[in-house]
A and B are shown apart, each in its own frame.
Chain A
Amino acid sequence: MPLQAPQNTDDPAYWSAQVGRIGAQHDTDAFMCLFAHFGPRLQRYLTGMGVPPSQAEELVQEAMLRVWRRAAQFDPCRANVSTWLFRIARNLYIDSIRGEPHWLTVQDDLEMLDALPSEDGATSAESFADGRGLDRAIDDLPPQQARMIRMSYFEAKSHSEIARELNQPLGTVKSSLRRAFARLQGALRKAP
């Protein structure tokens, strides 16, 4: 019987704690609770990217399996669970649907780099988006910027494709996306 997703789902700390339990205790209930919430969202994301539904379901299972196996490596100081899941699903999409055989290795290697102290001793910036703040910031974007962001993230359209479809110069698309990022950036970091 499927578990019901809990209510406090827009609190990133709640999900980080669930992943913590999966990592530390191999907690099946926490895992299935994560699946109840994110599984259907991953399915929506992947079908939106043009993956046929049955193949998308297969990728959702694959993504969740990665969550199960790598939960102990999840670092709540560096990302939200939703960010982590987005990365996992996008990487699997690029690997298996776009058929880029090197992508997963390259991404794993890049993530390892941040576990090392850098040559100049700096540690990477703490990133911890407050879900609600970022939600509001996304909702407050001007419609044109919001549309471009969605075309990019949910349909994997290139800047040139977005420019063609919206009948805008390429430079306008890029500067709109830059402005959108600037508006969202404030909500992306925990206030110091």
Chain B
Amino acid sequence: MKPHHHPDIATLMAYSAGALSSAFSAVVSAHLSVCRTCRDRLRDTDAIGGQLLNQQEGMPLSPGAHEKLLARIQQYAPDAVPAPPETPARHDPDLLPAPLWPYFGRSYRALPWKWIGPGIHHIRARDVTDDHLMLLRVAPGRSLPMHTHGGNELTMILRGAYDDTLGHFAPGDMADLDCDTEHQPVTAPGVPCICVAATDAPLRFSGWLARMLQPMVRL
């Protein structure tokens, strides 16, 4: 899996700074777990944080902090260098990306999908209190209602694919959208499109049918 669409660098900077909500962080982590390019870029954004840390004037620690630390390290030997990880177990196609396990479990087969509209199922993440995190499954060859975003939306494709004015989005790809984007994704034929999405405001659908569906869907 080599993604072609990546998160905005501003989003990676926020992730690096610890400034993303847990819902958005989960989606970025899932993308990072399949994208070496972004892991490299994240090291750059972390380096900015490291340099800022180093540039600052320090703040004095309480007297005794030194002795306390010295006493503490006597109790711990440094960890042994872990053996280099073995070649990863052959990729199990039923496994979700590891960063999503705490929210949705590990197995695609075991996902408890809920019907929310023709051809559309979803699952809300458990234990996410800030923003919204959900899985969406859209039947193949279906066009979603035209919608804009009241705020930010971060989506990663897990299975299947969709097309919109921004391009073709396949597994691993990420759509990093804000309120200026209006789009109407059309899922590819063949298999359902499954994606994980974080949003910080409800979607706004345009068109009378979409508006009618909105209260029912409440994405």
A residues apposed to B, CB below 8 Å: 2, 9-10, 22-23, 26, 28, 31-32, 35, 37-45, 47, 49, 57, 60-61, 64-65, 68-73, 78-87, 89-90, 93-94, 98, 100-103, 106, 109-110, 112-116, 118-120, 122, 124-125, 127, 129, 131, 134-135, 138, 149-150, 152-154, 156-160, 170-171, 173-175, 177-178, 181, 184-185, 188-189
Contact = CB atoms under 8 A, between A and B. Distances in A.
Contact of A152 (B2, B14, B76): B14
Contact of B85 (A80, A112, A152, A158): A112
Contacts of B78: 22-23, 26, 68-72
A69 B200 contact: no
Given A83-B49, A184-B48, A158 B14 contact: yes
A79 B51 CA distance: 11
Contact of A106 (B46, B73, B99): B99
A80 B47 CA distance: 7
Of A42, A127, A159, chain B has the most CB atoms within 10 Å of the CB of A159
A192 to B, nearest CB: 15
Given A69-B79, A78-B43, A188-B44, A157 B8 contact: no
A181 B65 contact: no
Nearest to B49: A86
A156 B19 contact: yes
Interface stretch (B55-63, B107-115, B205-213): B55-63
Contact of B61 (A32, A43, A157, A189): A43
A106 B42 CA distance: 14
B102 interface: yes
Interface stretch (B33-41, B135-143, B162-170, B187-195): B33-41
A135 B170 CA distance: 39
B53 interface: yes
A165 to B, nearest CB: 13
Main secondary structure of the interface of A (DSSP, over half): helix
B218 interface: no
B184 interface: no
B43 A83 contact: yes
A35 B58 contact: no
Interface in B1-16: 2, 8-10, 13-14, 16
Interface in B78-100: 78-82, 84-85, 87-88, 98-99
Of B9, B47, B57, B59, chain A has the most CB atoms within 10 Å of the CB of B47
Interface in B135-156: 151-152
Given A40-B60, A44-B57, A112-B85, A135 B22 contact: no
B65 A93 contact: no
A110 B81 CA distance: 17
A118 B36 contact: yes
9 contacts: A85-B53, A86-B46, A110-B29, A124-B43, A127-B47, A150-B52, A156-B17, A158-B14, A181-B45
Given A61-B72, A134-B47, A152-B19, A41 B102 contact: no
Given A69-B79, A83-B49, A158-B20, A174 B69 contact: no
